[in-house]
Amino acid sequence: MTVQSRIMKYFMAVARCGSIRRASEQLGIAASAVDRQILHAEAELGVPLFERHPSGLQMTAAGELLFTTGQKWERDWTETQAGFNDLQGLKRGHITIAIVDALTRGGIPKLIGQFRKSYPGIVIASRVMDNHAIAGAVTEREAEFGLLLDPPARRDLIVQSYTTSPLGIVCPPDHPLAARSEVRLGQCHDYPFIMPAPPLALRRRLDPLLSASLTKIAPVTETDSIRMIRSLIGAGVGISILLGVDVLSEVEAGSLRFVPLAEARSSPAMLALAVSRTRILTSGARLLAAEIERFLAGSHAALTVP
């Protein structure tokens, strides 16, 4: 059920598709009916909403203004529907969370699976995003809450809970450095090293440490993918430096070893659960957030390997 006007529904579809024909296919409505509603909207508003080109339709300034209003309406209506579901208890609902790629393995997927068994009527949508984009997704109400590293200081963003994740050496369990409780950068010089490359945020953390070190590390390879770094380490190509959260699942499984880096002990990353200051979470979202908070607390020991 929706109370959205037919004109707004058709307009949003055309704006997203850039074509009457593609919008009609998406909506399952005749193209002539879609075109008629757009023309009716333009006549009623007294402004053109689209410029017609041989290649398709392009929104005018008035169209872009209406599209922004339509996006806000869609977000408000989604929250209103969530409120209706909330009134029915935890039998129905939809929760969207934004998470970093590092959390797509291990604990969080298991937690979501357990939550679904307890509340099978609630759909959980997990949006895997670049870390820097998650704060915006939360404050723009595209997600109920987000799990991100080092959240930015924003008035409209609240850190509800967090744990810390140190920087450390990652190596196979049988590596000479694996038995240590702490490693210094200088001790990495004698082993093949996999260098995290820009634009990884990890590299921005690492550069000051490399600059301050008296030992210069010559990498055997470099990559801008955390996933690739893990694979290269597992394949025996070399060791690397990652955040504890990047290899939490592998450390728990025993396939990799994480040893804290001495030079970075005082500046761990913050792994936070953040919510919007202006959004009231539904009962289902609050329950899921509470479960994730317990996961973060329970993972603290693994993230800060002693």
Q: What is the DSSP string of 57-91?
A: EEE-HHHHHHHHHHHHHHHHHHHHHHHHHHHTTTS
Q: What is the per-residue pLDDT for 282?
A: 83
Q: What percent of the chain clears pLDDT 70, i.e. is strictly above it? A: 92
Confidence of residue 1 (pLDDT cuts 50, 70, 90): very low
User: If we measure between CA atoms, which residue out of 71, 80, 60 comes closest to residue 12?
Assistant: 71
Which range, 80-89, 135-144, 293-302, is most confident?
A: 135-144
Q: How confident is the model at residue 89 (pLDDT cuts 50, 70, 90)?
A: low
> Mean pLDDT highest for which of 17-31, 68-82, 83-97?
17-31
Q: Classify domain 88-163+269-298 by CATH number.
A: 3.40.190.10
Scored b (16 or more CB within 10 A) or e, 33-48 reads: ebbebbeebbeeeeee
What architecture is the 6-71 domain classified under in CATH? Answer: Orthogonal Bundle (1.10)
Q: Where in the chain is the domain with CATH 1.10.10.10?
A: 6-71
> Does the pLDDT at position 267 exceed 60?
yes
Q: Is the dihedral angle over the CA atoms 85, 89, 94, 100 positive or is it negative?
A: positive
Q: Residues 47-65: what's their mean pLDDT?
A: 89
pLDDT at 305 over 60: no
104 vs 6, which has greater pLDDT?
104
* C-alpha separations of 252 from 105, 173, 302 in Å: 11, 12, 7
What are the structure tokens assigned to 53, written together? 């080109």
Mean pLDDT of 226-237: 95
Query: pLDDT (tens digit, 9 = 90+) per residue, 206-222?
Result: 999 988 887 788 899 99
Residues of the chain within CATH 3.40.190.10 domain(s) are 88-163+269-298, 167-264
CA distances from residue 105 to 125, 231, 235 in whole angstroms, order as listed: 15, 14, 19
Identify the weakest region by mean pLDDT among 84-88, 158-162, 183-187. 84-88
Whether the per-residue pLDDT at 30 is higher than 80: the answer is: yes
Residue range 155-184: average pLDDT? 93
**Structure tokens of 138?**
């939360």
Supply the pLDDT for residue 237. Answer: 97
Indicate the pLDDT class of residue 306, thresholds 50, 70 and 90. Answer: very low
Domain at 167-264, CATH homologous superfamily: Periplasmic binding protein-like II (3.40.190.10)
